[in-house]
Amino acid sequence: MPSSKIKIYSAVTVIVVAVILVFVGLVNLSKPNAQQVVEDDVIVEDLVIIRHPLNGQVWTNSYREFFTIGVSIDNANNISEQPGLERADIVYEALVEGPITRLLAIFDSNQHLDKIGPVRSARPYFLDWVEEYQGVYMHVGGSPQALNAIDDYDFVNIDQIGSGEIYFWRDNDISPPSNVFTSNANWLRVGEIKEVSTLDRDKFVTWNFVEEDEIDGIKDISLDLSSDSFQVDWKYNTSKQQYQRWQGDVKHNYATGEQIAAANVVVMVVDDWLIDAERRNINTEDGGLAFVFNKYGQQDGVWLVENGRTLFFDKDGNSLKLNPGQTWIEIINNEERLEVLDASQ
């Protein structure tokens, strides 16, 4: 007959085994089911990564609906700051008149920004690029050609000159015309009043954002956009794994004081022509050479418009690789305006 000590040891053993089994069962219950069906974005080892359609960054939570906003932003060399630019997902830079470039910044409506600008006028090619994003375009007037065509485009047009004035304000401490600003509160009012549709993910084509290791030997680039004041240099910062921007041989900073830094610099070679003494138009439809610069090195290819979306391909038809983050698109009319240099950092 077992002794009382043996009985006690047996009871303790049973209890310990039971606790272990319960613990193992709870751990297994807490593990995600790698086979469960979720949104069909990017699948890695049977788990889904949801990327932002504009900047390719991973969303840690579920997808958040938003509409896009394109804003014409002043880039004259005498302006003091460009608030809000640091939160843009995509920035286009193109000549507008004479030697002056202007920026077209594309935002996600979920961004919280108290001040964005200075907001400036529209150009015909800005209309083409804004339409790709199915959202809102905010500007202050425009060239005659842009204003004559703007009603034919599929976006919500918000012009500060006219009824759209309520969505902007002027900073009286700054000289006009570079003193008009807006905010995310104003574009949310636009969204509510104009019943702006959110971005249709089934129709919108996202660029080829990937996450891979940085390569060696990444180059700097220099762009001769017009005069010395608009000489743009992008220098690769290895520690940040981003390109930092100089304009007119001076560091170009966000309003936050930080230097402008891009995950990608895309250079598009286009045909352009003068339409009056100073203003120009750009062929945004027929394609041309494209060069992508990021931590994956220099990628040469072409830009094409497919189903209303500008896309970037190599010579074999494969999509060029973009690094998640802010993308700047530089528009030049001749490949010779681009110079690739040995890295300085």
Domains identified in the chain and CATH numbers: 59-193 (3.50.90.10), 220-341 (3.50.90.10)
Banded model confidence at residue 34, pLDDT cuts 50, 70, 90: very low
Instruction: Give the mean pLDDT of 154-159.
Output: 98
pTM listed for this prediction: 0.86
**Average pLDDT of every residue of the chain:** 88
Instruction: Give the mean pLDDT of 32-43.
Output: 45
Model pLDDT, residue 41: 56
- Per residue in 209-259, pLDDT tens? 999 999 999 999 999 999 899 999 999 999 999 999 999 999 999 999 999
Which of 289, 240, 277, 269 has its CA nearest to residue 334?
269
Model pLDDT, residue 15: 43
What secondary structure does DSSP assign to 324-342, as a single string? Answer: SS-EEEEEES-GGGEEEE-
What secondary structure does DSSP assign to 303-328, as a single string? Answer: EEEETTEEEEE-TTSPBPPB-SS-EE
Instruction: Give the mean pLDDT of 38-47.
Output: 52
For the cut 50, the answer to whether the pLDDT of residue 20 exceeds it is no
Query: Distances from the Cα of 122 to the Cαs of 99, 306, 309, in angstroms?
Result: 17, 24, 20
Q: Which ranges in 144-250 belong to alpha helices (H)?
A: 144-149, 184-193
CA gyration radius for the chain? 26
Model pLDDT, residue 42: 57
- Per residue in 63-114, pLDDT tens? 889 999 999 999 998 898 999 999 999 999 999 998 999 999 999 999 999 9
- Per residue in 170-205, pLDDT tens? 999 999 999 999 999 999 999 999 999 999 988 999
Amino acid at the residue 292 = V
Which of 62, 4, 27, 53 has its CA nearest to residue 208?
53
- With vertex at residue 56, the alpha carbon angle to CA 69 and CA 239, rounded to the nearest 5 degrees, is 110
Instruction: Give the mean pLDDT of 5-13.
Output: 40
Banded model confidence at residue 273, pLDDT cuts 50, 70, 90: very high
